[in-house]
Amino acid sequence: MLSNLKPQAPDKILMLIEEFKADTRQGKIDLGVGVYKNPEGVTPVMRAVKAAEQKIWQDQTTKAYTALSGEAEYRNAMTRMVLGDAPADRLASLASVGGTGAIRQALELARLANPGVTVHVSDPTWPNHLSILKFMGLPFTEYRYFDAETRGVDFEAMKADISKAAKGDLVLLHGCCHNPTGANLSADQWDEIAAILEKSGAIPFIDLAYQGFGDGLEQDAAATRMIAQRLPEVLIAASCSKNFGIYRERTGILLALTENSAARDMTQGSMAFLNRQTFSFPPDHGARIVSTILTDDALAADWRAELEDVRKGMLELREQLASELRNLSGSDRFDFIAHHRGMFSRLGATPEQVQKLKTDAAIYMVGDSRLNIAGLNRDTVPVLARAIVEAGI
């Protein structure tokens, strides 16, 4: 049986990690996978996470199973973080294995509710969105999103395409810090998207993997909150990997806003069922770190402060890179880097130019020219800027 297996298409982002590791050149720069690194190139354990782990170690008396949907304390704390004051009587929630697990469970839930569901995704989107959709055999279609000229959002095209989503379709939106482009909607544009969805009855499905990495913890949730207030049904997949820096703990949550409390109960039951069918009980350690932090004022304040430092550090690198490129290229055509938000920017380089950066300068970024700003520091920004100009980008 197993000899029948065929090779699967490799994940381009994960492949890059291996390629980078194998490169023996001094001074190589990794701008590939979306993992935060401090100026020393380390992905640190955040202070509040260490403190929470110590507290858990001291206080925890059992490792018996948690609830199928995850601990209520974690789900409530995350609901508050993502949605602020959520309508509790309409909200179902599910602890998941990372943000990716929440995406998968959301799609499984949508398929359970509507076997013919079509999913609308931005062009481009996180490659794993497409990979999961293909693997599940769910029909999907791409809506235009990125304007290759301005490196901003092609909003007119996006609206035109999203307007085609039918009642009951899912429209996958990046709540903030669009991956891979870094180009995001303004508050007014979000309002227009909400109005289109209100009219069509298509359901927003928000991927919120970078809350706190863009304009701030509250600001990055503003669009999601507005959508949740206006639309009767909303799915949200949130990740704690980046903002808590607990990547390997695989901590995420699926939030489902339903039309009424009866639908909420049915949805909650279906979501718990999906966990049971997939891996049974969700992992607890990361979720417990998060709830320990969010329910302790001092820990929460320290975590927020460190997250703000991380966010501001990335913004400074954006400003520095845009300014170096302005000087070296004698034009403002790279200013979009300072306007983008989150970990990523799509540079707009050709695959050949991306390859040239790798071959000539040992600079690694995803083939579509997505670069991870957090892979830089003050010293490597000028190196990258020079290489970009030399590669003719």
Contact 48, 299 (CB under 8 A): yes
Which C-beta is closer to ligand LMR: that of 36 or that of 74? 36
Query: At its nearest, how many Å lie between ligand LMR and the CB of residue 163?
Result: 28
d(CA 336, CA 104): 32
Q: Token pair of 180, please?
A: 């891979």
Sorted by sequence, the CB contacts under 8 Å of residue 379 that are 6+ apart come out as none
Residue nearest to ligand LMR (CB): 34
| Cβ at position 392, least distance to ligand LMR in Å | 26
Alpha helix (H) residue ranges in 23-154: 47-59, 72-83, 98-113, 127-136
* Least Å from the CB of residue 100 to ligand LMR: 7
Structure tokens at 262: 């009866």
Instruction: State how far the Cα of 257 lies from the Cα of 86, in Å rounded to an integer.
Output: 9
* Cβ–Cβ < 8 Å for 274, 62: no
Residue among 252 and 292 whose Cβ is closer to ligand LMR: 252
Reading phi first (left if > 0) and then psi (alpha if -120 to 50, else beta), residue 180 is in alpha
Whether 391 is catalytic: no
- Are 176 and 220 in contact by the 8 Å Cβ rule? The answer is yes
Residues 6+ apart with CB under 8 A from 393: 347, 348, 349, 353, 369
Query: Dihedral sign, CA of 301, 305, 307, 311?
Result: positive
**Nearer to ligand LMR (CB atom), residue 17 or residue 263:** 17
Task: Give the nearest distance from C-beta 174 to ligand LMR in angstroms.
Answer: 11
Active site residue 209: yes
Q: Of the listed 207, 220, 284, 368, which one is catalytic? A: 207
Closest CB to ligand LMR among 128 and 323? Answer: 128
Longest dimension (CA), the chain: 63
CB of 227 to ligand LMR, least distance (A): 22
Q: Which residue's CB is nearer to ligand LMR, number 44 or number 168? A: 44
Is 242 a catalytic site residue? yes
**Residue with Cβ nearer ligand LMR (33 or 328):** 33
In the complex, least distance from residue 35 CB atom to ligand LMR, rounded to whole angstroms: 7
Active-site annotation holder among 51, 86, 126, 303: 126
Element (H, E) at 202: none
Q: Which is nearer to ligand LMR, 169 or 364 (CB)?
A: 364
- Per residue, the 3-state secondary structure of 109-120, as one string, reads HHHHHCCCCCEE
CB-side neighbour CA atoms (13 Å) of 346: 26
3-state SS, residue 21 = helix
Q: Give the nearest distance from C-beta 381 to ligand LMR in angstroms.
A: 20
- Residue 235 burial (CB count, 10 A): 25
C-alpha–C-alpha distance, residues 257 and 377, integer Å: 40
Phi, psi (5° rounding) for residue 208?
A: -120, 85
Q: Which residues bind ligand LMR (CB under 6 A)?
A: 13, 33-34, 126, 128, 179
Q: Which of 242, 284, 287, 385 is labelled catalytic?
A: 242
Report whether 210 contacts 343 (CB < 8 A): yes
Looking at beta carbons only, is 131 or 229 nearer to ligand LMR? 131
Query: Which active-site residues does the annotation give?
Result: 126, 207, 209, 242
